[in-house]
Amino acid sequence: MSNPSLLILPGDGIGPEVMAEVRKVIDWYGAKRDMAFDVSEDLVGGCAYDAHGTPLHDDTMAKAQEVDAVLLGAVGGPQYDDLDFNLKPERGLLRLRKEMDLFANLRPAQCFDALADFSSLKKDVVAGLDVMIVRELTSGVYFGEPRGIFEEGNERVGINTQRYTESEIARVARNAFEMARRRNNRVCSMEKANVMESGVLWRRVVEEVHKAEYSDVELTHMYADAGAMQLTRWPKQFDVIVTDNLFGDLLSDLAAMLTGSLGMLPSASLGAPMENGRPKALYEPVHGSAPDIAGQGKANPIACILSFAMALRYSFDQGTEADRLEKAVETVLADGLRTADLLGQEGVAPVSTSQMGDAIIAALDASL
């Protein structure tokens, strides 16, 4: 049987630095757990534009369609701000999501006990937080037609269209219910059914899928604006939140900051199952390319490493090994190691990107 395949796209800014630490983890699993991966590497984002004149070469797109999973670092940088819209680094990432049909974006918001003081909320509100937001990723207002800036009478008008089909809603709802069955069996669906017809349809379809296929899972509904308020009031009331593209974008960023640092947060984007039964998948840290600290050894690699943990769990059916890696991260943080973004105490020196990666490897060794 061939090894599972993984395409690594480090990208721009701090992407190559954090991805180098993930490569250490991948190598550790090959050497210590007899879990070898067939790893290839390519370009995406600004570096791809520099090399090929496009943020994602067709050959790279073809590779992404063939592998078991894609792991991406970050894209973008100020030197690309004046490029045509279709050539900007971010378009490479959007093309991957769209052409791989990665319709379900999983954004966990987990607060490690050692970092509870870093949240802007009170410690008792966020300590032990573990919420999963499932965001629909390939439809809605970001993709609906008509869209654009038009002349209307004597002024300009900007138009974006919120559009969802029932099949698009149903498939992401199923993903959320399946996720809940692996967790605490509760789903809260968020929309704006009080003012948007697309929200009315969203609620109806989620209820239909629930009744027909997932009646064992507890389902509640909440307007998205009320959901934002409740996430900041008492986030631990939620288990899995499922929502559309626009509201998911906003709510997942809000939930991210409850944990204290974007440098801690992974994500997964999943599509339909391939012939081998695994979903098409792209894993990436939530943080951006952080060009202001690129090349300085200051970047936090944990979000990218935890993204690989998600790949172990959702693409490679290695939940126990994903738990091992997440526990290693928790151990290192409990021991007091901090990259620059996590410093909160005077007189505590930060560790570098590579030192944090080495400490996680040491914790993995200690877990055997």
Torsion of CA 123, 126, 128, 132, to 10 degrees: -170
Q: Does residue 251 sit within a domain?
A: no
In this predicted structure, the answer to whether residue 345 has a pLDDT above a threshold of 60 is no
More confident residue, 120 or 37: 37
Q: Does residue 290 sit within a domain?
A: yes
Q: Does residue 43 sit within a domain?
A: yes
Q: Does residue 45 sit within a domain?
A: yes
In this predicted structure, the answer to whether residue 344 has a pLDDT above a threshold of 70 is no
- Residues 143-164: pLDDT tens digits? 999 999 999 999 999 999 999 9
Q: Does residue 295 sit within a domain?
A: yes
- Residues 81-91: pLDDT tens digits? 999 989 999 99
Distance CA 268, CA 314 (A): 9
**Structural tokens at position 156:** 């300009």
- Residues 222-272: pLDDT tens digits? 999 999 999 999 999 999 999 999 999 999 989 888 887 777 889 999 998
Q: Which pLDDT value is given to residue 347?
A: 55
Cα dihedral 313, 314, 318, 319 sign: positive
Q: Does residue 271 sit within a domain?
A: yes
User: Once rounded to an integer, what is the mean pLDDT over residues 114-141?
Assistant: 90
For residue 301, what is the domain's CATH number?
3.40.718.10
Count of domains in the chain? 1
Q: Does residue 219 sit within a domain?
A: no
Q: Does residue 311 sit within a domain?
A: yes
> What residue has token string 């190691």?
337
Task: Give the domain range for residue 325.
Answer: 1-108+262-368
Name the residues annotated as catalytic: 142, 192, 225, 249, 253
